[in-house]
Structure formats: C-alpha cells, structure tokens
Amino acid sequence: MIETAEKQPAATAEPKRKNALVNFIVRLVKEKPLGTAGGIVVLLMFLTAVFANVLSPYPYWQIHMGQEMLPPGGTYLLGTDSLGRDVLSRIIYGARLSLYVGLGASLINVVLACLVGIPSGYFGGRFDILVQRVVD
C-alpha cells in the first residue's frame, strides 16, 4: 500500500496592516491638500524657530563692518542691512521671537478663559447669561 502525505491546510496570507498614523496622513493629504500644505508650512516655521541656533549662519546680533547694505549673494543669502547684520539670521531668530509671543498669548488666553468659564459653568443660570453677554 502506498502512503501519501496528509494534506496541509493552505497558508493564507494575512493582509498587511498599515499603521493608523500612516492611514491618517494619507487620507489627510488626499482629502485636504491645501490644509496639508499649510500645515507643512507651519511645521517648517516651528522647526526653524526651535532650531534657530543650528540653522542661522551668523548670530543675529553680529555686525560685519564694511559689509553694510550688501545685496543677496553667496556669503549673505538675503544680504545685509544698514548696520552690516545678516538679514537671514535676523529672520530666523525673529521666527523664534514670534513663536514665544504666540505661545505666551495663547497661554494667557487659556488662563483668562478658565477664570471666566469655570465659574460661569459652575453657577449657570443668570450668571452664565450675564458672562456670555459681557464676553460677546
């Protein structure tokens, strides 16, 4: 009698599962391309502000004597100002200052909103209506 090997169940390939973050990003780019482009610009500005020390070719305060009012070129990508300071470095460090101002204003806004909103929500009624009218 001839013996045969038992049939093995066929291996089924499991579908590859993508990362949820990858799926979200792909869907976001497809559905809202302009919003994605805007988000990328904001992200680049944020990273520029955070890494200003690394990205800036010169310190923002450094004055280059005899290099005043140079046009954009190889040494100074955006030229120099009337005091001989590199314009690109000043723009990069200005992004950092703008980030600080924006985050500080947002923090103050959150604190003030909590100081007004928590009592308004807690007491409700006429006090809530009064606060809404004052805020509006």
Pick the more confident residue, 3 or 87. Answer: 87
pLDDT band at 96 (very low <50, low <70, confident <90, very high): very high
Q: What are phi and psi of 25, to 5 degrees?
A: -65, -45
Domain boundaries, the chain: 51-135
CA dihedral 55, 57, 59, 63 (to 10 degrees): -160
**Among residues of the chain, what percentage have pLDDT more than 90?**
85
Query: N- to C-terminal Cα distance for the chain?
Result: 94
Q: Name 80's bridge partners.
A: 86
* Per-residue pLDDT reduced to its tens digit, 13-62: 666 667 999 999 999 999 999 999 999 999 999 999 999 999 999 999 99
Q: Which H or E element spans position 100?
A: helix 87-123
